[in-house]
Amino acid sequence: MKKDKILVIGACGQIGVELTLALRKMYGDTNVVASDLREEHELLKGTGPYVSLDVMNKEMLHVLIIRHNITQVYLLAAILSATGEKNPLLAWHINMQSLLNVLDIAKEENIDKVYWPSSIAVFGPNSPMQDTPQHTIIEPTTIYGISKFAGERWCEYYHHRYGVDVRSLRYPGLISYKSAPGGGTTDYAVEIFHEAKEHKQYTSFLSENTYLPMMYMPDAIRATIELMEADASKISVRSAYNLSAMSFSPKEIAAEIKKHIPEFTISYEPDYRQQIADGWPNSMDDSLARADWGWKHEYDLAKMTEDMFKNI
């Protein structure tokens, strides 16, 4: 029997750190190779093998996969929504080429499974905003969303044409305390906790009633691993599954924070990220993920807020 050997690409990012640690617990420390462009994250040090890797270098990636007998790849390296708008061509290049490098090597080397995340950013202003369905109008307006939508199509193509077992989730905005967010439009929902604790005040870059789908990191990590562990016969979507837990606005999260820090105040100075958020869903319908492989979220706004303040 072939032993699982996992490569995480982009392991030092907001998701990568926690996902790598969770995978090491499940598969054994030495069976999960972490890699990133950046220096090894503090929380990963001493927990397992670490390799410096630029995923854009296909030859290096190929050699790494062969040398370590990799059987599963988690590709998390990407340029996120807000950063992407500052340099659209770079974001397109990195987000697409990294995925094509991984998919193509997976095909050649018969990699067992590939994970690559998509995002709620695939949706655009013409998609239904409430309970956005799995299958609907998809007309993204940010380069990040365009690259995620194209990536979803490539994943489905590699699955149908070459049999690559690639799986994907459309993550909502992710809230965490272990590793900092990397330049997304939902980053405010992480910053607000730190500012509330340190300065009792936060200026939001999104307006008070901007509702976005959100999820606490432990739920996102569990969803990712549950999807990857599910029997292939249960996976009916080979582009990317809608995934959902909660939806709130800056005003609502501020009210929840006030329950823990009564003197906390919030003000609003929307910037260029407001326009990005305005094109995204307010909430998502993830019934297909729930029906196909049993997805169930655990954290709502109140439970997440409590846990964040326990840990930051």
Choice from 6, 7, 36, 264 touching ligand NAD (CB under 6 A): 36
When asked if residue 37 is in the footprint of ligand NAD (CB under 6 A), the reply is yes
Convert residues 117-136 into a mask of x (bound to ligand NAD by CB under 6 A) and - (unbound): x-x-----------------
Interatomic CA distance for residues 165 and 113, integer angstroms: 5
Interatomic CA distance for residues 235 and 165, integer angstroms: 10
Q: Does residue 144 carry a catalytic annotation?
A: yes
* Residue nearest to ligand NAD as judged by C-beta position: 13
Of the pair 144, 264, the CB lying nearest ligand NAD is at 144
When asked if residue 186 is in the footprint of ligand NAD (CB under 6 A), the reply is yes
When asked if residue 145 is in the footprint of ligand NAD (CB under 6 A), the reply is no
When asked if residue 56 is in the footprint of ligand NAD (CB under 6 A), the reply is yes
* Residue tagged active-site, from 50, 74, 144, 299: 144
Q: Site size for ligand NAD, by CB under 6 A?
A: 28
Choice from 6, 7, 14, 50 touching ligand NAD (CB under 6 A): 14
Of the pair 61, 111, the CB lying nearest ligand NAD is at 61
Interaction with ligand NAD in 65-104: which residues (CB under 6 A)?
A: 76-78, 80, 94
CA 258 to chain centre: 28
Choice from 15, 82, 155, 196 touching ligand NAD (CB under 6 A): 15
Tell me the catalytic residues.
144
Q: Which residues would be at the binding site for ligand NAD (CB under 6 A)?
A: 9-10, 12-16, 36-38, 53-56, 76-78, 80, 94, 117, 119, 171, 173-174, 181-182, 184, 186
